[in-house]
Structure 1
């Protein structure tokens, strides 16, 4: 009952505050107020004026505003940040080192890399947009390097593709890329950015993701014929491009260990009104309308935690017994109380966990792809068991996963742990500690219950019987002695 009430409260809270599961306060950092009109459709979609459901509260600020602060009384003043490319160089301020006052361009003292990282550490989400028309500030480059995202050393570089471009608007420069909406990066990874439309990506900035961080994932890659190019370079041949083909990530994501999200959008111009539902023409002459508006909704929905948010409900474990041949969990019967603190080695135990997925405006049952698995670890220093959890029931808002298994023949302090981390899904790390004791002296099976011990029991009793027989024979077989007839000598 309490779980149902909490789900109802969360749902009502989401309807009041907007679709985001973490809040509706969105800071938009834009340098010139005159630029706001170029993104008016995008703002309307975020505020919910067009579809009347998203409900973000937008606050527009200039990076030059000295009174701008991301925190108030030690807490986040905003839930999300949207950074648009600055046009000017700005003033000097403390960079990510926090020690030396170095000249850096762009975002001002309230948006240093150190403060932005602190915002992420306090569960804030950031959408960063780039543009080849605006050189990337060195502070942003420093921030991205901290996250293992690399930008071209030439700050005026853009991505061109001579085989996949809009012939209507970029017939000469080939810098307006035409790309299909994102596809799965792996078979076991959920795709929140798919569709059948075409995305127009004008004057994009290339990004290259490091291979060492499991927190990074590409959302949109360039085609194999694309490359990064500096238009100021007058050479006819690019000898050493920054990145080529699918090495180029146009939209990149980073989900921190606390599940805060950071997205780098390589073309701010793709969010402008003129590229929403615009007609484009590919090299092969096919006309189509852009899906930029839908793609922008998908990107902001994921970044601002409207989708891909997992919530854990009830977590239970109990002693169990297998009652018969019934299929699935129907053959498992509960013994004793829920969530005991101590078990015995070789007990049969059942573990249940209830998980929901937040999707736009409601909690839905979590569905695990057939090529993936939600796993339970029973671990001490290392896992003694790693088992796939099985869905046994569903409610309108959640899925209950369960697994029954036998505890190992090892006593100590163990943990039930569900550690589920996948790209584009918030992390689930649930841990419940229990004690596993050894057998008590009166819990061991008696010797006559062990068929393999019957030989030894028989041997003991045969030895005893043989010894008794020997003693009896020895006692009753004493020889008879005759009385002496001679006289006694003095």
Structure 2
């Protein structure tokens, strides 16, 4: 009975994952700071619920519901709207000084280490930051983001507007993960510089006329100009700064670092831009959530196959110089139908046939008329050993595609070598001519000896 119950629960969990809007599940845990009102973010949260997500709200210091149980995540996605929450620790951990301890703002299951562990278990994270120094700010540095000094929000005096300089309209650059023609968005918060990690996915950058400063007036403009001339480390300005940045791990789990929780608020979604048109905040945060929750730009390799030309089954081993056919089947997740569809939109897919180093690197093009099928034919190298078919496709924003298949390549058997080689005809001719010459010389030599003996015999008789 217990086994049947366990099997039923497993089937229900699998069915929930299959029917989810996201390719990785629909259960979302929202950590909401007590200073924030849930009603002020109703457009964002209601939009997630309408798309089929199951939201569970919890205060950062609450221990229940737990993020994970026995190192297994209970949620497919975690949203941290805790820009000002600090994770404090006891001032003196000794039991005799327990009265000197302070209240911990985060529960024990929410630490930078546990959040990184969630990513390793394919749980996606949406994290909001602020100009204040918090544990999440320190976590961002582990993902190759460089925050400015505490208390330095983004400031811009352009374009001219009635709003304060820290409330900045930001243009949205075209991106495959965002809807085309998204209007500028309102932003008020902390920027960050981008490191050199290839896993970073820039989504929203600061305007060229903006900078990070602890004052909104122009009294320190000379200092900023001087820092620009000297290329000082204290300069945080221009479009090199990021406002919303994604990070995708090698396991394809995703995390978003947004420099402002107000970016998701109803007030910014309803606030018109300086030129009077509606802001793009609502559409922008919807697209950002769709990407981090793995609705969009999600690819996978369904299966691969390989065989010799004019065969259909993979052999136990290949022989050098064999003609090999390699096939890969790729699909993309469709959030509208919550299903996987064959995808043939990759034009830069490559296949490597490697043994330590690639011996063959060739394009793996899609097959016309067969969606999702990619195929190539190539000749095995003239070298035996243990080789691998390797596909390693990495593009910013898209799921990483990686697969590896090991096959041996052996030299021909003793009865598989060709009997005659066209390139060896000079050697064949030399051997044949030498043999013919030997027989001719032997025949002439022997014939000459017989003739000489007959002549000597005649001379003897005549005497």
Question: What interval of TM-score do these two structures reach, taking the shorter chain for normalisation?
Answer: 0.7 to 0.9
* Alignment-derived partner of residue 317 in structure 1: 306
Residue of structure 2 aligned with 1:62, choices 55, 59, 64? 59
Between the aligned partners of 2:373 and 2:314, the Cα distance in structure 1 is 16
**1:287 counterpart SS class:** coil
Q: Distance in 1 between matches of 2:140 and 2:216?
A: 24
After superposition, the CA RMSD in angstroms is 2.7
**Match 1:28 to one of 16, 27, 30:** 30
- Distance in 2 (CA, whole Å) between partners of 1:473 and 1:234 is 114
Q: Is the 8 A contact 1:202 1:269 kept in 2?
A: yes
Q: Could you say which residue in structure 2 is the equivalent of 1:225?
A: 209
Distance 1:222 1:164, change over 3 A: farther
Per-residue deviation, 1:85: 2.6
| Change in CA separation of 1:152 and 1:104 when aligned onto 2, cut-off 3 Å | farther
Structure 1: distance between partners of 2:206 and 2:195: 16
Q: How does 1:93-104 map to 2 (within 5 A)?
A: none
**1:430 matched to 2:403:** yes
Among candidates 74, 85, 104, match of residue 77 of structure 1: 74
Number of matched residues?
424
- 1:105–1:74 distance in 2 versus 1, CA, 3 Å: closer
How many Å separate the matches in 2 of 1:451 and 1:16?
60
State which of 35, 38, 41 in structure 1 corresponds to 2:40: 38
The C-alpha deviation readout for 1:243-297, integer Å capped at 9, x for no partner, is 110111000111111111110111211211122243221xxxx321111111111
Query: Which structure features the higher share of strand residues?
Result: 1
Match of 1:391 in 2: 366
Contact 2:172 2:185 in 1 (8 A): no
TM-score, length basis structure 2: 0.84
Kept in 2, the 8 Å contact 1:181–1:194? The answer is: no
User: What is the rounded CA distance, in whole Å, between the counterparts of 1:314 and 1:13 in structure 2?
Assistant: 22
In structure 1, the gaps of 5 or more residues are 1-8, 49-53, 95-101, 185-190, 321-333, 486-490
Aligned-partner SS, 1:198: coil
* Partners of 1:275 and 1:119 in 2: CA distance: 30
Tell me, yes or no, if the aligned pair for 1:277 and 1:291 is still in contact at 8 Å: no
Q: Is the 8 A contact 1:255 1:261 kept in 2?
A: yes
C-alpha distance after superposition, 1:432-456 (max 9, x if no partner): 1111111222222222xx3343333
Greater shift in the superposed pair: 232-241 or 380-389: 232-241
TM-score with structure 1 setting the length:
0.80
Conserved in 1, the CA contact under 8 Å of 2:298 and 2:332? yes
**Paired residue for 1:193?**
178
CA positional deviation for 1:366: 2.7
Structure 1 residue 204 corresponds to structure 2 residue 189: yes
Which runs of 5 or more residues in structure 2 are unaligned? 1-10, 92-100, 228-233
Q: Check the 8 A contact 1:26/1:56 in 2, yes or no.
A: yes
Q: For residues 320-357 of structure 1, what are the alpha-carbon distances to aligned partners after superposition, in whole Å with 9 as ceiling and x for unaligned?
A: 1xxxxxxxxxxxxx32x422231111111111101011
Q: Residues 310 and 88 of structure 1: is their aligned pair in 2 closer, same or farther, counting only changes over 3 Å?
A: closer
Structure 2 residue aligned with 1:327: none
Match of 1:413 in 2: 386
